[in-house]
């Protein structure tokens, strides 16, 4: 096998991806505010690029949950009311303990290693005061557990339910320059109960994690 066949080709970053990064940073810095309407034509004119590139960028941000496109209307920076957050959390606190318990029965050294790596990423986000790294690593940690549970319906439901929740938290933490330190230890506890595999401990730890993180946020 030749050396050239072993090397990965560098990935080109599209103008849409560059635009998404600019808009993402603007949202996280609070320059584009929660609930603000994003008009493709206005953004294209302000940035000197095509509406196609803006549209591509907004699709990426919608996938991340940072913006919300209402049917046949404009796109808005994600904003959740206290009532919406409460409703999502109440459903999540019922479903996620089930996912963690199912995942504990399928845990392997390899999948445990992946979760440990995500813990390091969460810690790096905290130490670097990097809200995007922290929130995205936090979400990847939970999505990894949901996938490991082996229940595709549960995985899909939690992903659809929680994507805007994690995105809005990312915006909130960044705009308000929130203290990040306490978000590390709670994830370590989740890994520990996964390894132990005790259903009662898992349900208590996961429910407590969700409630403490989000109801303190609501307060």
Q: Using the 8-state DSSP alphabet, how is residue 68 labeled?
A: E
Q: Rounded distance, CA 60 to CA 24, Å?
A: 10
Q: Rounded distance, CA 61 to CA 163, Å?
A: 11
pLDDT of residue 28: 79
Span 13-77: which CATH code? 1.10.10.10
Mean pLDDT, the chain, integer: 86
- Domain boundaries defined on the chain: 13-77, 82-218
Give the full edge-to-edge strand order of the sheet including 75-77: 37-38, 75-77, 67-69
pLDDT of residue 133: 84
CB atoms < 10 A from the CB of 168, how many?
Answer: 23
Confidence band of 219 (pLDDT split at 50, 70, 90): low
* Highest mean pLDDT: which range of 9-13, 25-29, 81-85, 130-134: 81-85
β-sheet bridge partners, residue 68: 76
Q: Rounded distance, CA 173 to CA 151, Å?
A: 31
Confidence band of 183 (pLDDT split at 50, 70, 90): low
DSSP 46-64: HHTS-HHHHHHHHHHHHHH
- Would the pTM count as exceeding 0.85? no
CB atoms < 10 A from the CB of 45, how many?
Answer: 12
Helix (H) or strand (E) holding 76: strand 75-77
State pLDDT tens for residues 34-58: 899 999 999 999 999 999 999 999 9
pLDDT of residue 115: 96
The candidate with the shortest Cα–Cα distance to 109, out of 186, 202, 191, is 191
- 152 phi and psi angles, rounded to 5 deg: -60, -35
pLDDT of residue 212: 82
State pLDDT tens for residues 2-38: 444 555 554 566 888 899 989 988 887 788 888 999 9
> What architecture is the 82-218 domain classified under in CATH?
Up-down Bundle (1.20)
Largest CA distance in the chain: 60
């Amino acid at each position: 096998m030749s050396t050239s066949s072993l090397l990965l080709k560098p990935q080109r970053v599209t103008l849409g991806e560059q635009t998404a990064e600019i808009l993402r940073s603007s949202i996280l810095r609070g320059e584009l505010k929660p609930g603000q309407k994003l008009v493709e034509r206005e953004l294209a004119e302000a940035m000197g690029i095509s509406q196609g590139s803006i549209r591509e960028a907004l699709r990426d941000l919608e996938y991340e949950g940072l913006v919300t496109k209402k049917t046949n209307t404009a796109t808005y920076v994600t904003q959740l009311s206290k009532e919406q957050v409460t409703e999502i959390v109440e459903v999540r606190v019922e479903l996620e303990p089930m996912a963690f318990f199912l995942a504990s029965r399928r845990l392997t050294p390899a999948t445990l290693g992946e979760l440990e790596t995500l813990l390091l990423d969460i810690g790096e986000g905290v130490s670097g005061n990097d809200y995007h790294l922290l929130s995205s690593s936090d979400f990847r940690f939970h999505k990894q557990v949901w996938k490991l549970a082996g229940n595709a319906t549960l995985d899909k439901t939690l992903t659809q339910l929680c994507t805007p929740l994690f995105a809005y938290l990312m915006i909130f933490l960044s705009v308000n320059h929130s203290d990040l330190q306490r978000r590390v230890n709670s994830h370590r506890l989740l890994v520990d109960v996964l390894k132990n595999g005790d259903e009662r401990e898992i349900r208590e730890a996961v429910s407590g994690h969700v409630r403490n993180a989000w109801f303190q946020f609501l307060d």
